[in-house]
Structure 1
Amino acid sequence: MSVECKLLVIDAGNTSIKFTALFGDQVLWVRRGDSYPTDADFAPDVIYFASVRSKELSALLRADIQAEFPQSQWLTLKSQAYACGVRNAYLEPERLGIDRWLGVIAAHHLVTGDVVVVDAGTAIKIDVVNQAGLHLGGYITPGLAMMEESLLSKTARIRYEAHEVVAGEGLPNSTARAVTEGCHEMALGFLERIYRRYPTFKWVVTGGDAQRLLDLLGVSLECQPNLVALGAKLVGDERLRGDK
């Protein structure tokens, strides 16, 4: 089958599902939700499925989508030791999150040279890949919202309302500012340490908080909101072609 077809990429994260419709290299639309958008007038020829959810939840989602598109070819993408010119650093390659693996592959193909890949969503994920396509490894830390939620869930008296989260100058002078700005400082400190270790590397970022955080550090970067979907297309197309 030609890879120049109507393609649906399903990126099932821990907290949301991202649906990306493509034709060739063109992104037609992107939607987020708990299920496939019923108002989307799009019948894919092929579906690439990438999920970090449990086997049970992934199976339920797959059944729902396949019931919607029974004629579509289906490819479930898994992390591998090698794909699309990139070698996985993990001793057990399948244990690298598929979202991280696809992001590394996409970043390696998007820019020339050594790359730091940042995905800042529910978690902040860092991966490093060199110009030769060797994935060097990476980190996972809680994202901003997760850090705040963890602090609130483990304490009895740290409480505030949403309207109390306001910008201010100087040291935080309210509980709301102390928590939100403290979490920002933790994330920024982590990213700054990575930047100092890899000052000559190019940075490719995705995720809702990535550009906002890195802009504060003054890091030169390429923002790519559809990084995982682009990686899924590269890997899925390679499989369809039967490349080794």
Structure 2
Amino acid sequence: MEGKLVSVAAKVLVVDAGNTSIKFTAFEGEQVLWVEREESFPVNTGFSPDVIYFASVRSKEQSALLHADIQAEFPCSEWVTLTSQAIACGVRNAYIEPERLGVDRWLGVIAAHYVVTGDVVVVDAGTAIKVDVVNNDGVHLGGYITPGLAMMEESLLSKTARIRFDSREVVEGDELPNSTARAVTEGCREMALGFLERIYHRYPEFKWVVTGGDAQALLGSLGVSLECQPNLVALGAKLVGDERLRGKK
């Protein structure tokens, strides 16, 4: 994306409500002041936003409750709820029903197109491992969702009676796993790596932008050249929210 967009509000709070945690990112202009993961707005920050950009993948009921709690905290702040669209910030959604693309994926794709010039593979490795591809023209080509490392392990343990281990048993080794703990943790990791390696071989010339707690560790093992953007979704929310506000003026 050409050029640099200028913030339309002095102080912005981005609320990214994921499945397992809520990420609050405070912006002053284009600068990130702080980032917190909490279940409610963190206290004693001294931050009072002019506008709140709200993006949630939670149920309608959960999102409404969170919305009400935060709006009660900042009744004078303007509120913008972000959803996936057919087109935003120069990016075209691949989905036939654009609103069904998870808003976190959508915002990550938009941010990646903004921060990197060229064709991009976007990887968000958290609760789930999400991969999206966007080309230099801002056309989202589609993507994948697979379970994240912790989810794969939990699924295996919940469906079996005798696969059990203590977290203290999880150690790394170079040879084949010789304990249940290693068999499970390293097996899940190999599955994730195999998936990401196939993506890499399919798009070898694309640049990679990654976010999420497991992204760097996984992709570092593959030797993929990448750009880490821990606040990728928040940056996308800032871009889309600012575009929405400009449209109102």
Distance, in Å, in 2 between the alignment partners of 1:41 and 1:8 is 12
- What is the aligned partner in structure 2 of residue 78 from structure 1? 83
- d(CA) in 1 for partners of 2:9, 2:65: 28
State how far apart, in whole Å, the 1-side matches of 2:61 and 2:9 are. 32
Following superposition of structure 1 onto structure 2, how do residues 211-222 of structure 1 map, counting pairs within 5 Å? 211-222=216-227
Identity %: 81
C-alpha distance in 2 between matches for 1:238 and 1:33: 27
Q: Secondary structure of 2:8's match?
A: coil
Give the 3-state SS of the residue equivalent to 1:132 in structure 2. Answer: coil
Residue 121 (structure 1) shift: 0.1
**Match of residue 94, structure 1, among 85, 93, 99:** 99
Q: Which runs of 4+ in 1 moved over 3 A?
A: none
Q: Is 2:212 aligned against 1:203? A: no
Q: Which amino acid aligns with 1:227?
A: L
In the alignment, the residues of structure 2 paired with residue 59 and residue 40 of structure 1 have an alpha-carbon distance, to the nearest angstrom, of 24
CA distance in 1, matches of 2:66, 2:57: 12
Note the C-alpha offset of 1:40: 1.4
Q: Does residue 239 of structure 1 match 2:247?
A: no
The whole-number CA distance in structure 2 between the counterparts of 1:190 and 1:92 is: 26
- For 1:106 and 1:38, the matched residues in 2 are separated by 28
What is the match of residue 155 of structure 1?
A: 160
Matched residues in 2 for 1:8 and 1:123: separation? 25
Give the structure 2 partner of residue 12 of structure 1. Answer: 17
Q: 1:29 matched to which residue of 2?
A: 34
Q: Which residue of 1 aligns with 2:3?
A: none
Aligned to 2:171: 166
* Counterpart-to-counterpart distance in 1, 2:97 and 2:235: 24
Post-superposition CA distance 1:46-100 (Å, at most 9, x none): 0000000000000000000000000000000000000000000000000000000
2:161 match: secondary structure: coil
Q: Deviations over 1:204-231 (max 9, x none)?
A: 0000000110000000000000000000
Provide the C-alpha distance between the structure 2 equivalents of 1:90 and 1:161, rounded to a whole number of angstroms: 42
Q: C-alpha separation between the residues in 1 aligned to 2:135 and 2:103?
A: 19
1:4 Cα deviation (Å)? 3.5
Match of 1:45 among 46, 50, 63: 50
2:9–2:51 contact (8 Å) kept in structure 1: no
Deviation, structure 1 residue 167: 1.1
177, 180, 192: which one aligns with 2:185 = 180
CA RMSD of aligned residues (A): 1.1
2:127 corresponds, among 119, 122, 125, to 122
- What amino acid does structure 1 have at the position aligned with 2:236? G
The corresponding residue for 2:63 is 58
Which TM-score applies when normalising by structure 1?
0.98
Aligned partner of 2:169: which letter? E
In structure 2, what is the Cα distance between the partners aligned to 1:40 and 1:157? 47
Deviation at residue 39 of structure 1 after TM alignment: 2.0
Work out the number of aligned pairs and report it.
243
CA distance in 2, matches of 1:175, 1:40: 44
State the shift of 1:169 in Å. Answer: 2.1
CA separation in 2, counterparts of 1:118 and 1:94? 20
Partner of 1:224: 229
Deviations 1:148-185 (A, max 9, x none): 00000000000000100011120000000000000000
Instruction: Supply the AA of the counterpart residue of 2:41.
Output: Y
Paired with 1:50 and 1:215, the residues of 2 have a C-alpha distance of 29
> CA separation in 2, counterparts of 1:82 and 1:209?
29
Distance in 2 of aligned mates of 1:13 and 1:229: 12
